[in-house]
Amino acid sequence: MKKQLFQIIFVLAFGLFQVATVFSQKQEFAIRGFHLDLRSEVMTMPALKAFAKELADLKINILVMEWEATFPYEQNATLTNKYAYKPQEIKDIIQYCANLGIDVIPIHHCFGHVEWILRHNRYRYLSEDKKEISQVCPVKIEEAKTVFRSLFKEMAAYHPSQYFHIGGDETYLLGSCDKCKEKVAKEGKSKLFVDYIKAMCEVVTEMGKTPVLWADIILKYPEAINDMPKNVIYVDWNYGWKTNYFGDMQKLFDAGVTFWGAPSLRSSPDNMYLTSWITHFNNQKDFIPFARKSDYKGMIMTSWSTSGLYGFSYDQGWEILDMEQVRNVYPLNGFRMLLEAYSKSISQPEPLNPEQFVTEYAQTRFGLTNEEGKTLWQIISKPQEVVRKGKSPTGISITDMAGQTKILCDLLYQLNPQKNRTEFSHLKLMLDIRLNYLRFKEIETVYESDSFNRSKAKELLNKLEVVLAEEKKLDNRFTLLQKGFLTDKGITELNTMRKKKMIVLKDFLSAQLQ
């Protein structure tokens, strides 16, 4: 009897162990990735290696590199910009990552987000529009295949990864030109997208690689999924919206496609003067469990240095003189807290508890007390809003926003970190930049109001001088914190861009006093 009872207990225990093992395996993403955007914030090579080591320590095994114009093209050298890495540096960092157990996947846009290519006359003939150069014309398939076969091969030669990301997101100009309109009228807009993407996937497959693609456009046209190549991996980027935001996901689930998920560590509404911490914490809390439940095979944390939108200056005939990104964000070294939260989110079966995480992070990372950790959460969780027409979208005045930010600054400065003070200094600088920006926006709002006249110019100019004096101190702090992480030129450009509108307003106000 005892023997039978023991056997029953053993069978039950073994069964529970198997269930637990299967459950545990389902919680683990095979692909645990991070996306690094080098379009507008170019990291030094030592900083890249240090960051890769930190990713490896956090159990990240994939690094998606958006090199863009920092890549040292040979046959397509027209594209390589002043921030480009040397060929040997690219080889070194990829090998360094491999030694850490990190596979480096290149992303090479070939459809939308190709301003950096189409700005050059050499490639301009591929453009969908003569002025808005964000997109390749999708009926120029053979011409595009010739160009991107060359570009893909150059980049793939450095990357042994089996994966090659071709972008394909936000193709807003689909069906714009006359030839595209003709095809849309005959076959539909989804056909326009699918035929072009299939051609790009063929180029990738020719190289022995597996194509990876952002999922937003195929989700918009899910009826076309059966016409897509079967080996494509779709990356569902979701930065805090409902799961069917782009389209009917169930149709893609039913088609049996392979999904990777992509939350974001930096994205809209973030800019240099605003970091929406609570948006990104909630994004991890909500989306990662959904992806796990939906059997996504991987997770890639995106980190956008800019919005991907650009402003242009033109010469005659729409010839581009220069282009400048519309929105920048605070550099990546200020976001380690969100990075560790991501590592925790993809490693545990239960959803992230942001408040608990921040409170504990404050204690383990900064040596703060439990109460101080709660204060840090109070600061981090406070929503930050953009400024439009003198107020926030919810109607809060700039003066009130500045007052609220000043309270948060005071709370943050009361905390006394015992370790990792440099990281903590980023948090202080972020808030101080925001506060000074809001004080500038108060001045600008008066200047742009119906009540402004020449008699008020001197008063506003005096206030602006105070803001600019503070801005100079912020420049120095920013430079000190970014030294060695970003290139020196990049640091100077970000400092210049951050206060550019302030300088323009100073010139206008000074003109009123002449």
- Residues 324 and 392 placed together within one structural domain of the fold: no
Q: Which of 292, 323, 345 is the last residue of a domain?
A: 345
pLDDT of residue 3: 52
- Residues 305 and 442 placed together within one structural domain of the fold: no
Terminal Cα-to-Cα distance of the chain (whole angstroms): 105
Q: What is the pLDDT along the chain (514 residues), one digit of tens a residue?
A: 455 555 544 444 444 444 344 444 455 799 999 999 999 899 999 999 999 999 999 999 999 999 999 999 999 999 999 999 999 999 999 999 999 999 999 999 999 999 999 999 999 999 999 899 999 999 999 999 999 999 999 999 999 999 999 999 999 999 999 999 999 999 999 999 999 999 999 999 999 999 999 999 999 999 999 999 999 999 999 999 999 999 999 999 999 999 999 999 999 999 999 999 999 999 999 999 999 999 999 999 999 998 888 988 998 888 999 998 888 999 999 999 999 999 999 999 999 999 999 999 999 999 999 999 999 999 999 999 999 888 888 899 999 999 999 999 999 999 999 999 999 999 999 999 999 999 999 999 999 999 999 999 999 999 999 999 999 999 999 999 999 999 999 999 999 999 999 999 999 999 999 8
Domain contains 17: no
- Residues 117 and 187 placed together within one structural domain of the fold: yes
- Tokens found for residue 188: 């539909």
- Distance between CA atoms of residues 313 and 321, nearest Å: 5
Cβ neighbours for 150, distance < 8 A, ≥ 6 positions apart: 75, 76
Q: Which amino acid is at 232?
A: V
- Calculate Rg over the CA atoms of the chain: 25
- Residues 429 and 280 placed together within one structural domain of the fold: no
- Distance between CA atoms of residues 198 and 211, nearest Å: 10
- Residues 37 and 165 placed together within one structural domain of the fold: yes
- Asked if residue 218 lies in contact with residue 228, where contact means CB atoms within 8 angstroms, the answer is yes
User: How many C-beta neighbours within 10 Å does residue 88 have?
Assistant: 9
Residue 39 belongs to what domain range? 29-345
Domain contains 99: yes
CATH number at residue 134: 3.20.20.80
- Residues 388 and 308 placed together within one structural domain of the fold: no
- Residues 336 and 421 placed together within one structural domain of the fold: no
Domain contains 73: yes
- Tokens found for residue 200: 């790009």
Domain contains 505: yes
Q: Which amino acid is at 49?
A: K
- Tokens found for residue 310: 């650009």
Q: Which of 325, 345, 365 is the last residue of a domain?
A: 345
Collapsing DSSP states into helix, strand and coil, what is residue 58? Answer: coil
The CA-CA-CA angle for residues 232, 343, 346, to 5°, reads: 55
Q: What stretches of 294-335 show up as alpha helix (H) in DSSP?
A: none
Domain contains 200: yes
* Rounded alpha-carbon distances, angstroms, from residue 411 to 136, 357, 407, 417, 470: 49, 19, 6, 13, 20
Domain contains 279: yes
- Residues 199 and 304 placed together within one structural domain of the fold: yes
- Residues 154 and 281 placed together within one structural domain of the fold: yes
Q: Which of 295, 328, 345 is the last residue of a domain?
A: 345
- Tokens found for residue 320: 């581009």
- Asked if residue 300 lies in contact with residue 34, where contact means CB atoms within 8 angstroms, the answer is yes
Domain contains 353: no
- Residues 285 and 387 placed together within one structural domain of the fold: no
Domain contains 358: no
- Residues 113 and 243 placed together within one structural domain of the fold: yes
- Distance between CA atoms of residues 273 and 26, nearest Å: 39
- Residues 174 and 273 placed together within one structural domain of the fold: yes
Q: Provide the number of structural domains found in the chain.
A: 2
pLDDT of residue 14: 47
pLDDT of residue 309: 86
